[in-house]
Structure 1
């Protein structure tokens, strides 16, 4: 039996209904969607259905009449409601046309819609796809997926996705060849020059909905070939188990910064413009992330749209969950993902540092700063710290506190960064202490990832790894007008850098150096493996980063850690 899909939430003033009407004789295959007021009568609703369906049929009839004058169209009535050709049935009994639609919405079981003797079983709040689109850029060897997927009552993991290709140049018969299944598809060389089509039958645990198909507007193109991260992936072919886990940190270069005239003409003039486009870069970013098989992923400079339409949907299908915050009003921010098979999220919290300077541990230091210019500059920043608390599913007594941040970037702001770094480590530590108090039987351990915009010679690295920054530290005087006097810092966590201090985690013609870190409690973890960094030859092959094979101006960090017994 055909199906019509009714969508209605209690309390709403409208309902939606969709169905696919197929008449092979008249060569009609059309999806119809209606949005109606619940207070209208059944007759009014059916008249609207009648008008829309007959409009399509009449067009077909008129075209056939012109081609074949002998065609008999008398069998098609002009008023189908009156002649009983379009009706609603309840328990196989015709519904009174004067009944209001809202009365039927209270109980839509055993409701059927009849259109020209075709019977449609009405299914209320079945899985339904609102919108699905394919991306404008599809590259051989890189994951392709719906660039937009909006649905109701749908579990994507339960849904059925199939991929097809059609040679846009040579295949004029519109024949589609099945090439893959699943939400993610990786085009191969034979797909070059072909359009792709995806079909989805939306499902949830108990029901299925109307299938939707979408074709790509563009064809599959050749990719850049092997990327430096493909070599690094040789060290991360397998997922970890037990007390070992893999963690990565990566500033992925927000589109809001890459897609500007300044970036294209001044910062990255050596990089082809197509390779700066996020539609291109996000395919490389996602392949790089997936290939590391990490359990915890901390990302910086994540555009909201990239998180919502690319990273979260794709990684969710690979059993990750994620959290995201923007840096105050700016439309990019921080994202942390974790492997749901190995961790459950206990808590998530964040702090916009400049908005919370009354944080108890920080306010003591803040009160010692007498330079108002420094305070004004500090408070004008939208730097944020996000903290995700995870419990190991394999070792229930182990809880991880995952901090993720991106500190201020200006070259003359070492003093600002140092204060931000102090806030960050103490904020994470306070959360860890609170979690420990709530779970005294558990071992609570801290990890802090991010782009700290600070080289190892600066105070932040000393604060994290040596626990102390003296008042004589040069960072306090990185800007003469904003110099900080008589302030020293201490913190109590015994931290170390999981990847050490690579020569480069950021490489551009303007600057190259180590700015990114994965800090861990060295008395709680041991490092089992550091994923090798790209060589300088790889970094300079295309002058600098980003490039056609490096999607960001930063290099991802990745390490395998093991919880000590």
Structure 2
């Protein structure tokens, strides 16, 4: 995200008397408080623990005021002595400057025993010598403003303000269209086109820029200052032709609850691997995986705008994203999704890569009772399943892999706002990718299923609906998916039988002596089961990943069919749809995966 042009300034309102302004800023739950004021025309900032004694701040203000006063006096004396040709003397004792903290009634706040957190939040006036300061508490500020690039026709543009003690929707907005060729804002050259936060550029505005102004809500105070920030966007570019999403957009025009009037608790769920930006910028990605993708199309801020567009136009209640970049989550998705009424939850993988899973829950549909990240390596090693334990003991290479893989799963407990007695156990995960790691994924899946089963056995959650989303990195029929959909898997499965040949270190796979030993190797009989009654919410699509070197079905929304039924599956895409620009990603599809969406309802 580029901050194309930003400035923040204050416009003081005229005052009848010379009263300066001091700002006190403290948010509930913070351990420190900030005091800002301009003393002798020099800006001072105090960032102090709230339990610190008020006398410490008083003493510091006295020193600063005395120092400023002495500097002014000494400078004047030196000039006079120089004119008289006399010697300039130094030193001297700083005069004590009176510092008083006054409350709303005009009474002085006693400093003995008073703490900064309590006293300064009650202070409405500070007197430092002859200077008077009116105190403003937690004044709303806009300290910066940025927009995502590129600015595209047909894609809603929502600037991202940096604010304190207010949010974007409380601010006042002003958009002026600057004609093509005008690069800097001039009031006379701009045409007012919008007064809300969001604006969608049209085809007639290709080449134009926008001057966007965000103003913080005003305080009820004669000394409060206006706070605003501005940005001038880059020129508007033609947007992608998104007709391929037409059916989905029509299907999502009405919420699940509104679309299925006999099921007032219906919910719409999306699962989507959005392709982490860090996996697109390596030389291997650019030359081997995605050589057919234009750099402008692969740009993260371009792709994430299209991801957001898909989310917004389908009116989902639950959105589970994988390969979510930590930075873009906080900088873009949190402000955008919270402004749409979603609760946002991010969990990073346990490794060094800054990506993970992100789940968004529509607040009007569900209350988030609990949420946490499950470290799958820890969950596998602490599994109570005797068969899973035996596999790790019998095949140390599996255990070695489990230790090194950073996979996590998000677990959330949701309560329906329409029917509070109904709850959902929701998970979101992204399993290990390597093609030969079927048993690794089986153990990860079994651990996650075990966690859901354990939670579902708790009092109050026995009748919970189960929804498990993610990129499972597993084809239909492989060990993990067979276990999920069949409710059981045993040692006769072909991937279980391959356990002796698995090597974490791929270089060792070519060791002929090891392979000879493995030809006669056998696995002990075993079986893993569950009772979640899972079905695939979107069936078995022909593909969910369509890249230049790989096509297959890896993503699933698993639904506990004992409680929920599938009401509608959003239209899937054909091979013709996704191969128009060779493969994915493309100018229309922002990831190498496609999203899955389905409507679910409680069985009556």
TM-score range relative to shorter protein = 0.7 to 0.9
> How far does residue 503 in structure 1 lie from its aligned partner after superposition?
0.2
CA deviation after TM superposition for structure 1 residue 409, in Å = 0.6
**Helix, strand or coil for the counterpart of 1:374?**
helix
Residue 362 to residue 306, structure 1, CA distance change in 2 (3 Å): farther
CA RMSD of aligned residues (A): 3.6
Counting only pairs closer than 5 Å after superposition, residues 14-163 of structure 1 correspond to structure 2 as 15-17=35-37, 35=45, 38=57, 39-41=59-61, 44=64, 105=120, 107-109=122-124, 122-147=135-160, 149-163=161-175
Asked if residue 469 in structure 1 is aligned to residue 489 in structure 2, the reply is yes
Give the match's secondary structure for 1:472.
coil
Cα distance, 1:12–1:501 mapped onto 2, change above 3 Å? closer
In 1, Cα distance between the equivalents of 2:127 and 2:159?
A: 33
CA distance in 2, matches of 1:131, 1:172: 18
Please tell me whether residue 346 in structure 1 is matched to residue 369 in structure 2. Answer: yes
Matched, 1:410 2:434: yes
> CA offset at residue 328 of structure 1?
0.8
Within the candidate set 396, 408, 411, 1:372 is matched to 396
Gaps of 5+ in 1: 22-31, 52-87, 96-101
> Could you tell me which of 509, 522, 547 is aligned with 2:561?
522
Using the TM superposition, give the Cα deviation of residue 141 of structure 1 relative to its aligned residue in structure 2, in angstroms: 1.3
Q: Please tell me whether residue 332 in structure 1 is matched to residue 352 in structure 2.
A: no
Superposed CA deviations along residues 131-182 of structure 1, whole A, max 9, x for unmatched, are 33222321111132235x4332223443333333323614877123332344
Q: Confirm whether residue 452 of structure 1 aligns to residue 465 of structure 2.
A: no
2:336 match: secondary structure: helix
Q: Secondary structure at the match of 1:502?
A: coil
Other-structure match for 1:166: 178
* Structure 2 match to 1:55: none
Looking at structure 2, the residues matched to 467 and 397 of structure 1 have their Cα atoms a distance apart, in angstroms, of 27
Distance 1:360 1:170 in 2: 64
**1:320 partnered with 2:320:** no
Asked whether the 8 Å contact 1:254–1:303 carries over to 2, the reply is yes
Distance between the aligned counterparts of 2:589 and 2:152, measured in 1?
15
Name the SS of the counterpart of 2:384 in structure 1.
helix
Structure 1 equivalent of residue 411 of structure 2: 387
CA-CA distance at 1:271 after TM superposition: 0.7
1:511 aligned residue (536, 541, 550): 550
Q: Deviations over 1:190-243 (max 9, x none)?
A: 332222233223349999974322213522222123253344212110113212
Q: Is the 1:348–1:387 contact (alpha carbons within 8 Å) kept by the matching residues of 2?
A: yes
- DSSP 3-state at the match of 2:441: helix
CA distance in 2, matches of 1:171, 1:151: 26
Q: How many residues in Structure 1 have an aligned counterpart in Structure 2? A: 504
Partner of 2:284: 262
Which structure has the greater CA radius of gyration? 2
Going from structure 1 to structure 2, the CA distance change for 1:90 and 1:198 (only over 3 Å counts) comes to: farther
In structure 2, which of residues 292, 316, 319 is the aligned counterpart of residue 294 of structure 1? 316
1:432 aligns with 2:456: yes
What residue is the counterpart of 1:488 in the other structure? 527
TM (normalized to structure 1)? 0.80
Which string of whole-angstrom CA distances, capped at 9 and with x for unpartnered residues, describes residues 319-374 of structure 1?
A: 01111100113310001111101110100122111123343434652234401112
Match of 2:213 among 190, 199, 207: 199
State the partner residue of 2:599.
560
Deviations 1:306-327 (A, max 9, x none): 1101111101101011111001
Helix, strand or coil at the partner of 1:549: coil
Structure 2 CA distance for partners of 1:400 and 1:92, relative to 1, 3 Å: closer
State the 1:291 CA deviation: 1.0
Partner of 1:251: 273
Q: Secondary structure at the match of 2:373?
A: strand
Unaligned residue ranges in structure 2 (runs of 5+): 1-12, 15-19, 48-56, 72-100, 109-115, 258-263, 503-517
SS in 2 for 1:391: strand
Q: What CA deviation, in whole Å up to 9, does each residue of 1:424-465 have, x standing for no partner?
A: 21212212222xx1457xx31110000011111212222112
1:220-277 Cα distance to aligned partner (Å, 9 max, x none): 2221232533442121101132121100100000111112221111100011011111
1:531 aligned residue: 570
Question: Any conservation in 2 of the 1:112–1:122 contact (CA below 8 Å)?
Answer: no
Out of 550-559 and 169-178, give the one that drifted further: 169-178
Q: What is the TM-score normalised by the length of structure 2?
A: 0.75
Name the residue aligned to 1:225: 241
Aligned equivalent of 2:24: 7
> In 2, are the aligned partners of 1:184 and 1:314 still within 8 Å (CA)?
no
Query: 2:102·2:124 contact (CA, 8 Å) conserved in 1?
Result: no
> Per the alignment, do residues 104 and 492 of structure 1 end up closer, same or farther by CA in structure 2, a change over 3 Å counting?
closer
**CA distance 1:327–1:227, shift in 2 (3 Å):** farther
For the residue of structure 2 that corresponds to 1:541, the secondary structure is coil
Which secondary structure does the structure 2 equivalent of 1:315 belong to? helix
User: What's the secondary structure of 1:126's corresponding residue?
Assistant: coil
SS of the counterpart of 1:455? coil
Is the 2:149–2:234 Cα contact (8 Å) retained in structure 1? yes
Q: Which one of the candidate residues 298, 303, 309 is aligned to 1:276?
A: 298
Instruction: Report the CA distance shift for 1:43/1:245 in structure 2 as closer, same or farther (over 3 A).
Output: same
- Indicate if the aligned counterparts of 2:325 and 2:354 stay in contact, CA closer than 8 A: yes
Say whether the 8 Å CA contact 1:141–1:225 is kept in structure 2: no
8 Å Cα contact 1:127-1:209 kept in structure 2: no
